[in-house]
Amino acid sequence: MIKVIHCIVNGKEEEIPVDIRESLADMLRHRLGLTSVKKGCEVGECGACTVLVDDEAIDSCIYLALWADGKKIITVEGLQQHTSLLTPIQQAFVDEAAVQCGFCTPGLIITAVEIVGSGKHYSRDELRKLISGHLCRCTGYHNILNAMERIVEEAHKFVGNEY
Tell the CATH topology of 86-157.
DNA polymerase; domain 1 (1.10.150)
Query: Can you give the residue ranges of every domain in the chain?
Result: 2-77, 86-157
Q: What percent of the chain has pLDDT over 70?
A: 94
Q: Is 2-77 assigned to CATH 3.10.20.30?
A: yes
Q: What pLDDT sits at residue 81?
A: 66
Chain segment 29-53, per-residue pLDDT in tens: 999 999 999 999 999 999 999 999 9
- Confidence band (pLDDT; 50, 70, 90) for 159? very low
In 23-160, which residue ranges form alpha helices assigned H by DSSP?
24-26, 88-95, 105-117, 124-130, 142-154
Average pLDDT in the 52-77 region?
A: 98
Chain length of the chain: 163
